[in-house]
Amino acid sequence: MTIRKGQPWGVASPLPPSSPVVASDAAFGALLAAGPPWPVVGLLGGDLCHTLGGRGDEARLHSAEAMTFPVDVLAVSLDGGPPVWCVAHVVARSGGWRRVYIAANAQWIGEWNVAPRGHPDDGRVDTLAWELGRREARKVMARLPQGAHLPHPGLTTSAGRSASVSWPRPRRVWVDGAVAGRARSVTLTVEPDALRVVV
């Protein structure tokens, strides 16, 4: 069941023996490529780990201090193709960072606090998009580390169980930090409570 306001989230529970451990979102995405059901996964790095307060301490994963969380997964389709599984975020852009679309399951992309109100187990994907001149785009990016980019008249946001977007020309798309290809359209569907992670 996805998290609800005021409810506790996560339980104190160590990583089961022989469970995989990953140190980046891209490595996590590669692990999920075969599709569900997925094992419990230990996180040592990446933006989902950051969102969950992970410390990058492998010994902690096997200790009484370890926390296990249910999280959503995004099914991502480029130009109507077969789904790619995503745990943290999808970024599609062109013109450098002037034309950008972000779909986030994690709160962070590197040092950018892109979805300060998002939650990786709320059953929703948070999107952020802009098409700006170079100067305005730089101003937005300067405010992203503090999560202070909103409100802004040139930015659009949404949150829902699914999302879709298309553009006149293909954009390069990254899924969990790895290049997924170029596409004119991206469709995302949330798979709620799809797996368990330990930090």
Q: Write down the pLDDT at residue 49.
A: 98
Measured CA to CA, the distance from residue 190 to residue 105 in angstroms comes to 9
For the chain (199 residues), the mean pLDDT of every run of 10, in chain order, is 68 96 96 93 98 95 97 98 97 96 97 94 96 93 87 90 97 97 98 97
* In CATH, 73-193 is 2.60.200.40: yes
CA angle 147, 148, 152 (to 5 degrees): 125
Cα separations in angstroms, 175 against 9, 38, 43, 97, 131:
26, 18, 17, 16, 20
Q: Write down the pLDDT at residue 76.
A: 98
Measured CA to CA, the distance from residue 115 to residue 149 in angstroms comes to 10
The 10s digit of each residue's pLDDT in 62-91 is: 999 999 999 999 999 999 999 999 999 999
Close Cβ partners of 77 (under 8 Å, ≥ 6 residues apart): 83, 84, 186, 187, 188
Q: Write down the pLDDT at residue 147.
A: 86
Q: Write down the pLDDT at residue 120.
A: 97
Q: Write down the pLDDT at residue 16.
A: 96
Domain(s) labelled CATH 2.60.200.40 in the chain stretch across 73-193
- Which string of b and e fits 9-40 if b means at least 16 CB within 10 Å? ebeeebbeeebeebebbbbbbebbeeeeebee
- pTM exceeding 0.75: yes
CB count in 10 Å sphere of residue 180: 20
Residue 192 burial class via C-beta count within 10 angstroms: exposed 0-12, middle 13-18, buried 19 and up: middle
